[in-house]
A and B are shown apart, each in its own frame.
Chain A
Amino acid sequence: MQATILSDDVGTVEATAHDGQLLIDPADLPSALGWELKPEGLCQGNVCVPVRDAAALFGDDKLDVAAVAAALGRPAIVDAAAGIAAVALGAERRQQALDGLRAPSFTLPDLDGVPHQLQEWRGNKKLLVAFASW
């Protein structure tokens, strides 16, 4: 099936559902989750998270999305039957705001679909207002 993996980005990859596990090809991990499994561990850019037992990430030569998220220390909810998984953005970034009082970066589109990053307004004081039509 085509599965949708939600994390910092949205990845759509081929996957199989087996026993509640959502399994993907290791080669698809970067497009699914933005991380790559290397001998050093799970890597994203210059950052690598060592993985104690890489074999435990696999089910049948495929990567178990939930196991990868857990290895990254990220809470995740996987609906294998529906082929949709959501992985949390990470406590470190939130702690940066709560304890560190440093505004975590984000990239969001305006109403015309043009993406903007928080950094765009660096050098200005900002009132960030979260609102909604509801």
Chain B
Amino acid sequence: MLAVALDDSVDDVRPWVEGVSFPVLIDPEHALTELYAISNVPTVIWIDEADRIVRPNGVAFGTDTFKEFTGVEAAPHKESVRQWVREGRLPIPASEARTAVGDLSADEIAARLHFRIATTARRQGRDEVAGRHFQRAAELAPYDWTIRRAALPLTGGDPFGQEFFDMYEEWQQAGSPYHGLAATGSS
């Protein structure tokens, strides 16, 4: 397991990974949301020994570490992982894997760029500049949690508060868009 936190500061991450034995990295610039077209967390990607993607972006877990705040059962996915590790059983055919993750649109890329400018400005203490770019990013990618929800704690909002619930409803009404395989009981 290799965990990457799409968070701005290690202080925000530490409480969630206390006592874990797997490597935890931090990605404050959200490079992975561009490289792997990640639009929500948690996203799990299965990568084999030769760095090939055998199961692309999916809402699933290898452990129950995050079960508390996602409500997604780890067991079925865990069983698939076990079969992969023990028997080399591939979870989905490559042809399906290749089309599972829709590419980012130009607006979604631009949103990521505005987000990066925003976090940089914020770290420089320039909240007005940051606010403008967080706002623009949200306009360009309204259903992207790595943009809108990630910006909440960085703009004085509460990612677990009313703003989030409103966002969630909006997202559901839009068809719950996600770049990857939706959460399933088993794969």
Contact = CB atoms under 8 A, between A and B. Distances in A.
B106 interface: yes
A63 interface: no
B45 interface: yes
Contacts of B13: 111, 133
Contacts of B85: 125
B2 A79 contact: no
A44 interface: no
A93 B98 contact: no
B32 interface: yes
Band of interface residues on A? 35 or more
Interface string B74-117: 00000001001100000000100110010110100110111011
B48 interface: yes
A4 B133 CA distance: 15
Contact of A110 (B25, B29, B35): B25
25 contacts: A79-B117, A84-B120, A93-B35, A94-B34, A94-B35, A98-B37, A102-B52, A106-B32, A108-B26, A110-B24, A111-B10, A111-B14, A125-B85, A126-B46, A127-B2, A127-B45, A127-B47, A129-B2, A129-B3, A129-B44, A130-B32, A131-B3, A131-B66, A132-B5, A133-B13
Interface of A: 4, 6, 10, 75-77, 79, 82, 84-89, 93-95, 97-99, 101-106, 108-111, 116, 118-119, 121-134
